[in-house]
Amino acid sequence: MQNSTAPPSKRSKFEKQMDKVVYFLFFVLFLMAFIGSIVFGVATDNDLDGQRMKRWYLKPDQSKIFFDPKRVVMASVYHFLTALMLYNYFIPISLYVSIEVVKVFQSSFINNDINLYYEPSDRPARSRTSNLNEELGQVDTILSDKTGTLTCNSMEFLKCSVAGTAYGHGVTEAERGMAMREGESVNGWDQSKDPSAANPHIKGFNFKDERIMDGKWVHEPQAHIIEKFFRLLAICHTAIPDVDEETGKISYEAESPDEAAFVIAAREIGFEFYKRTQTSVAVREYNPETGSKVERVYTVLNVLEFNSARKRMSVIVRNEEGKLLLLSKGADSVMFERLAKSSRSFEEETRNHVSDYADSGLRTLILAYRELDEEEYRIFNQKFTEAKNSVSADRETLIDEAAEKVERNLILLGATAVEDKLQEGVPACIDKLAQAGIKIWVLTGDKMETAINIGFSCCLLRQGMKQIIINLENPEILSLEKTGDKDAIAKASKENVLRQITDGKALLTGPSGTAEIFALIIDGNSLSYALADDMKHMFLDLAMSCASVICCRSSPKQKALVTRLVKIGTRKTTLAIGDGANDVGMLQEADIGVGISGVEGMQAAMASDVAIAQFRYLERLLLVHGHWCYRRLSSMICYFFYKNIAFGFSIWLYEAYTSFSAQPVYGDWFLSFYNVFFSALPVAALGIFEQDVSAASCLKYPLLYQEGVKNLLFGWRRVLHWLGNGFYTAIVVFFFCSTALQHQAFNPDGKTVGMDVLGGTMYTSIVWAVNLQMALSVCYFTKIQRGLIIYCLVMLYIFFLGFGSLSPSLSAIGYKLFSEVLAPAASYWFTCILVITVALLPFYAYSAIETRFFPMYHQMIQRLESGKHDDDPEYCDMMRQRLLQAPTSVGFSARLAARANKLRRKNKNQPQ
């Protein structure tokens, strides 16, 4: 309960920006009404010349308020209120309703996407709210849980290096992703995916190598080292065997999944750990001489346990021959320096293998041993026992010092490589998201070493990337913790974290900061101080300057606080993804919460905005559906503003032409039906069906996603462009129509144009212009879209005929307007054609110039997809390079680039 947060009410940044545009249009509306009222008041005041009325035809003496020169102020106020109602088309009230309808359809597309359906668990994607669809296309930072989200929380023994020889043909998700990126076949084996495998998949064991399996290791040149290697794995651990009484099969309960994987690997090779007592372990070993298994018992004398400071574990055992053996396994950073000088014959090969394993995202440990003489062990055991029995504050230090003296002069055996099994497709998904310019943070409750290994596995970290590690495991803090002075510990810890953050920022801004890539790794204790009000902005600056950020040992509350800091500090869209109840606060705090309906229950999915079954589906959810939703809504809203301004401003222009008489140029029914029958349906179809590029192109060119992150399609520049286009259309329609029809006979009878003819001509031009503008704007012309545009234009003439056939008391100025006045007049048709052409010409010219000389990402892709420039391969290659040149620091694409740069530097430095 202490880690819980109240569920917030989420509203997209898109809608908030749309509100600002509406406020701006409110201001324009008030300004237009105010200007009109002032002009109307001045004209009315000047209408009285002595006792004579200049505009006698308005009959101001019979007016209650309007046009009465003696009541100018009240007349202006009444005109202002009338104008507000008359120009209300500037405020698209129906837009909000249309958006909600469109978002419901967009959510249904996400829910019914077969590519987001996970068949093993029968779980489709679920958009649990329609308010945030467009936010999916604007995500700048993803904050992800690890266990159950990136990984399956299943360790598997994959490879090993023994005596300088690499064994194991397994392939990791990271290697598979890199091979796919290069267009190469994956040369590796995965038992869980091999239908031809004779035996069922063994959990924790994904190893295959004919040279050492099935007892064939005895024929290897270094068979005696292989024997010691796997015997060490069978003995050096704290696992407990669990024998099934019915089947006799043995399973293991271990402190960590990787320790269980080591014991299982030893069993599969021929060294089966089957029994543990308080003082011994029993192992069934393969006997090379007899070819059968023999049972051996090893007496466990001491266990030197693993901790984050030691980064290694050792056991001291006595074998049946009476020899004392120290068996040790640990991180390469502490094990290589403890090797004896005489046992480094294959150290270089092992180091190279470890580097390759780490680059493939595998977790590595070095295995070594040595024999102890009785006197050396007696001295160690005495000191070790005294340290363990100590009750002083420095008990742990004494134990570590005793262990330090015996864990030296080790003999190298080799290295293990274990994969923390990632969910399928995670490295490829992260690579695509990174190419799309999305930053990815990992927030996990696991220890730092585990999180770092997962960072390598999913390609968030790589060899050569500088790691800025912030923690409180230093002698100063450890010594203060022994005193128990909480105030002093807190003060020193805060200063220490501040110093590490400052040093990290100095690294970024230093001489090497411009050339090297950095990753930030911070533990939970340090994070509690880094999130303090006086330090959190420095921490955020450092984190945002790093290519990857990993927060370890994070509590659920800290996950939510980090998410809030990123959301508020960057003012950009954040997405949190997790699968457990401990991720709920983070999901609720982010702009978008994505829950994974996994093995940890449905709490995260139920508290999320969107629920998916696998992390890899995030790629399609964002790059395809997110981009489409953003594109559709931005185009729909901009067009909505355009068509309403074109219509509303034409009314204002006629008002100005008639001294702001408050008389609309269009009839009441014409005003009412404009947004109902003649322009509403095509714009709704635009928001539902529009696709600027195909789904395959969205995934092929992830840089396209940056249009949403940078808000290129709904920024103020884009909005003002469409508003200006609306004003321009209204100006062209009014002035061209009024000028073309002025001072001339409208038909053969010699009748001149009245308000009805001018209004009918303007209305026709407006409806045609906005619908043809729609046709020019649409990228994905479906039959529905085409049919709705035709429907609106046909409905215009049906309305003209139907409304005009009503009695004059109902149709007023529309009586027989089209059938007897407009349709027979050639000038009506010529004027409409001219006005529509001039109104659309600038947009067409602007689009053509932009597409050819200043193309946006989607326009480049459209030209490549159209194939119109296949005869100009140089131009096509230039566009492809611009689209595929997505500079990224994480993902296997960045890892491949780093490898290529390393090889180029190596070749350059070699003598010719």
Angle between helices 72-86 and 627-657 (to 10 degrees): 150
534: annotated binding-site residue? no
Around 718, how many Cα atoms within 13 Å sit in the side-chain half-sphere?
19
329: annotated binding-site residue? yes
147: annotated binding-site residue? yes
146: annotated binding-site residue? yes
Q: Tokens at residue 776, please?
A: 């020019």
- Whole-number Å distance between alpha carbons of 899 and 885: 17
- Whole-number Å distance between alpha carbons of 578 and 583: 6
Q: Tokens at residue 258, please?
A: 């990787």
Active site residue 145: yes
579: annotated binding-site residue? yes
Q: Look at residues 573, 623, 621, 689 and name the one whose alpha carbon lies nearest to residue 861.
A: 623
DSSP three-state, residue 152: strand
Which position has the token pair 């006086």?
A: 534
Q: Look at residues 80, 82, 78, 81 and name the one whose alpha carbon lies nearest to residue 64.
A: 78
Q: Tokens at residue 108, please?
A: 């249904």
Strand partners, 374: none
Please, are residues 647 and 728 in contact by the beta-carbon 8 Å criterion?
A: no
Q: DSSP string spanning 255-289?
A: SSHHHHHHHHHHHHHTEEEEEE-SSEEEEEEE-TT
559: annotated binding-site residue? yes
Which position has the token pair 């407006």?
A: 766
Other C-beta atoms within 10 Å of 327: how many? 24
Q: Tokens at residue 466, please?
A: 């500088």
DSSP three-state, residue 210: coil
259: annotated binding-site residue? yes
Angle between helices 857-866 and 873-884 (to 10 degrees): 140
Other C-beta atoms within 10 Å of 9: how many? 5
Which position has the token pair 């034409």?
A: 650
405: annotated binding-site residue? no
Radius of gyration of the chain (CA): 38
Q: Look at residues 648, 662, 651, 661 and name the one whose alpha carbon lies nearest to residue 758.
A: 651
Q: Tokens at residue 684, please?
A: 């709704």
Nearby residues of 912 by Cβ (< 8 Å), 6 or more positions away: none
DSSP state of 621: I
- Whole-number Å distance between alpha carbons of 570 and 400: 44
Marked catalytic residue, from 145, 190, 692, 756: 145
- Whole-number Å distance between alpha carbons of 886 and 434: 9
128: annotated binding-site residue? no
- Residue 640 sits at φ, ψ, to 5 deg, of -60, -45
Please, are residues 636 and 95 in contact by the beta-carbon 8 Å criterion?
A: no
- Whole-number Å distance between alpha carbons of 643 and 467: 54
Please, are residues 693 and 865 in contact by the beta-carbon 8 Å criterion?
A: yes
888: annotated binding-site residue? no
- Residue 907 sits at φ, ψ, to 5 deg, of -65, -35
Burial of 866 (0-12, 13-18, 19+ CB in 10 A): exposed
Q: DSSP string spanning 814-869?
A: GTTIIIIIITT-HHHHHHHHHHHHHHHHHHHHHHHHHHHHS--HHHHHHHHHHTTT
Q: DSSP string spanning 691-735?
A: -SS-HHHHHH-GGGGHHHHTT-SSSHHHHHHHHHHHHHHHHHHHH
* Alpha-carbon separation of residue 352 from 97, 295, 358, 455, 581 (angstroms): 63, 36, 10, 20, 41
Please, are residues 638 and 719 in contact by the beta-carbon 8 Å criterion?
A: yes
- AA letter at 317: V
445: annotated binding-site residue? yes
Helices (H), 745-805: 755-777, 783-804
Which residue numbers are catalytic?
145
Binding annotation:
145-147, 259, 306, 329, 363, 444-446, 553, 559, 579, 582-583
Binding annotation for ATP:
145-147, 259, 306, 329, 363, 444-446, 553, 559, 582-583
Binding annotation for Mg(2+):
145, 147, 579, 583
